[in-house]
Amino acid sequence: MDRLSLPSRCESWAALAYFGAYLGYLFATLETEFAHWLTLVAIPILIALTFGGSRRSPSNVLATFGLRRENWRRGVGWALLLGILITVGQVTLFGQRREILALIESGQALWLYPLMLLLMFLMAGFTEEFFFRGFLQTRIEVLTGSPWTAVAIVAVLFSVYHLPYAYFNPMWPSAGDWGLAWRAAFSNGLPGGLVLGALYVRSGSNLVPCIVLHSMINAAPAMTMIKFGAG
């Protein structure tokens, strides 16, 4: 990243302040996936433009989030490998394995999985990675001076972000139970945040592999929500 593409400390503090305000908003009103395009993408871009200085071009703004044309393929192979391994684990080891296997055996996964992969790429895969890895992690790295400290902090913030969904969203098994909600939010968000954050660092601050991996992590479980509903 060149000097003009680096976030300023002022912008970095603004990013943290925005996360705090956004978290309070989530506890008041759970938003839809489509609204994420405003809160997790458009507003962070506006913050970057506001605090980035008059000389920052659109390409430099996107570069601060890890979107650079010359670097977009770096780390994608690792994302695909990790995504395959995690999906195999979801089918063979994790909690929704029976529902996923039923879809595979019925043949419905042949069309459901590609559809869910595309939807996750366009929704949570892109919007959440743009915000947490592209926006927060890069700005916290400016404040801490360490990419790995930023990975750890953002993994915690990523977990806390899932807490209002885990408690208030009736589609989560933990809905209405604070103890279960904390466990659900951190058991999913913390390891996922660490893996995605580390991938961002190892990919040379390239956001694309994080979007790919996040989409693959979400796709198989998302199939079961269509087939089996919230239960």
Where do the structural domains in the chain lie, given as residue ranges?
3-228
Q: How far apart are CA 108 and CA 99, in angstroms?
A: 11
pLDDT < 50 stretches in the chain = 1-4, 227-231
Encode pLDDT of 41-52 as tens digits. 999 999 999 887
Query: Are 201 and 148 contacting, i.e. CB atoms less than 8 angstroms apart?
Result: yes
Query: Tell me, what's the pLDDT at 55?
Result: 55
Q: What is the pLDDT of residues 103-136, one digit of tens each?
A: 888 888 889 999 999 999 999 999 999 999 999 9
From residue 22, alpha-carbon distances to 27, 28, 39, 163 in Å are 9, 10, 8, 13
Q: Specify the pLDDT at position 91.
A: 86
